[in-house]
Amino acid sequence: MTETSRLSIRHGRLIDPANGIDGLLDLHLAGGRVLAVGAAPAGFQPDQVLDARGQIVCPGLVDLCARLREPGEEHKGTIASETAAAAAAGITSLCCPPDTWPVIDTPAVAQLITRTADRAGWARVIPAGALTQGLAGEQLSEMVALRQAGCAVMSQADRPILNTLVLRRALEYAATFGLTVFLRSEAPQLRAQGCAHEGRVATRLGLPGIPEAAETVALARDLALAEQTGARVHLRGLSCARALEMIADAHCRGLAVTADVCAHQLILTEADLEGFNSQCHLHPPLRTLADRDALRDAVRAGLINAVCSDHQPHEADAKLAPFPSTAPGMAALETLLPLMLRLVAQGVLDLPSAIARLTSGPAAILGLPLGNLACGQTADVCVFDPEAQWRIGPETWRSQGHNTPFRGDPMTGRVTWTLLGGRIVHELRESPR
C-alpha cells in the first residue's frame, strides 16, 4: 500500500455517473479526499502522478453482498484475503451479510469486523446487522444499536422469517428509525431440497428443482408488508422475469423498494449446469435464457438499481461431491467488473450505465456518501483498462476461494490502480495491455 497525501490522475476518461461526468478530465486528490476535477487548483503540486492514458477513471466500486467468511469460516476466506481480492478488482466498499459465526446481531461482532478490515487496510467493510437475533426469525435484534456500531442496513442474509407477524414488526421497527432492510425473497417450503431451476435442464439431469414461485410467492408477501409498513426495503438477488414484473408494479404504486442482481445471473443460464458443473451450483439458481434476458433489460432500464458479486468463497472440497451435495456459491469479486464490461461489449449496457450500477446505485441503497467523485468526497477511485486481456488462473487470482465457473476463461478489462481514501491499495505490476 502506498501512502500519498497529494496525487493526480491524468489523461484518463473520467466517468462519474452520480455527477453526470464523462470526459477526458484529470482528477486531483489531497488528504484522502477529492480536491478538484479537471484543472488543478492554483499552486497544487502532487507528490505522485498516475498516467491513466487510454484507461477509465471512476469511483471505487461498491459491492452490496460479499461474504468474507470471517469470523467463523476462516478456512474458506478471511477479511484480509477477500478485501485484498476486492482491492485488486477495483472494489473499495463491501457490504458483509450478517450470517457470520457468531451472527452480526450485537455491536461487538459488527465492531470486530470493521476493526479487522481497518487493520487489513485493503477495502472498507460495511456490516449488515441481523434483522432478528441469531437470524432465527423469532426475536427482533437491537437494530438501532447495530446501526450505531456501523451497520448501514439490516438483513436476514438468506435466512427466512417464517412468521409473517415477526417480519411485519421488524419492518415497522426499521421504518420508525429510518433503517433500510435487505430481504432475500424465498419461500423455504417451495425451495425444499432443490439445487437448480425447476425446468428442462434439471429434469434431464435428475436434479431437484427450485420453481420460480419460491421467489415470487415470498416476494409478494415482502412487497405487501413493505407497502403496509412504509419501510425502505431492498430486494436482494432477483433471478426471474416474473419477479421483475412485480417490482415494476410496486414502483407504479409508489413503494420505496430497490433491487439488485448478481453479475453472474446476467451471463449464465441453467444450460451451464450441463455436465453437473458444481461451480454453477448457485443460490438463487441459474434460470432460463428468457429470465436472464429479462434481468438484463431491467438493469438497462434502471429497474434494478445495482449489480453485486454475491461473493461466496469455498474451500476446494466444498465443490467436490455429487451436485446436490455441493455448497452453493461462487467466488466472484474479481469477475464483477469484467462481467459488466462483457455486457457493455455485447451492447446490453453503455459504459456509464454499467459503472452506475456498480458505484452510485449501490451507494444510494446503502445511504452512504460513496460511489462518487464530487469535490470533498472520500477519494475512493478505480482506474481500469477496458481493453486489457487476461485469463483467470492462480497467478491472477487473489481470493482464497477458487470456486468459479469462469476459471481459465479469457477476460477483458483489468484494474490498474485502486485507491482507498487516497491511498494506493492495488497497483498492477505488469503492463495493463
Q: pLDDT of 95-126, one tens digit each?
A: 999 999 999 999 999 999 999 999 999 999 99
Q: pLDDT of 48-74, one tens digit each?
A: 999 999 999 999 999 999 999 999 999
CA nearest to 234, candidates 86, 145, 132, 364 = 364
Helix, strand, or coil (residue 432): coil
What span, in angstroms and rounded, lies between the C-alpha atoms of 280 and 327? 10
Binning pLDDT at 50, 70 and 90, where does residue 190 land? very high
Cell triple for 115? 476493526
Predicted structure pTM score: 0.96
Among candidate residues 99, 222, 310, 380, the one labeled active-site is 310
CA nearest to 50, candidates 372, 338, 384, 358 = 384
CA nearest to 416, candidates 392, 391, 371, 381 = 381
Q: Average pLDDT in the 309-335 region?
A: 97
Are residues 430 and 385 in contact, defined by beta-carbon separation less than 8 angstroms?
Answer: no
Identify the structural domains of the chain with CATH numbers, from first to last.
6-57+378-427 (2.30.40.10), 60-366 (3.20.20.140)
**Amino acid present at 85:** A
Phi first, then psi, for residue 220 (nearest 5°) are -60, -45
Binning pLDDT at 50, 70 and 90, where does residue 2 land? low
Burial (CB count within 10 angstroms: exposed 0-12, middle 13-18, buried 19+), residue 19: middle
Task: Identify whether 317 is a catalytic site residue.
Answer: no
Ramachandran quadrant class, 63 (left: phi over 0; alpha: psi -120 to 50; beta: rest): beta
Q: Which residues contact 179 (CB under 8 A, 6 or more apart)?
A: 143, 147, 153, 154, 173, 231, 232
Q: Which long-range contacts (CB under 8 A, 24 or more apart) does 387-396 make?
A: 387/54, 387/412, 387/413, 387/433, 388/412, 388/413, 388/414, 388/416, 388/432, 388/433, 390/414, 392/334, 392/335, 396/334
Q: pLDDT of 79-95, one tens digit each?
A: 999 999 999 999 999 99
pLDDT at 5: 81
Q: pLDDT of 366-414, one tens digit each?
A: 999 999 999 999 999 999 999 999 999 999 999 999 999 999 999 999 9
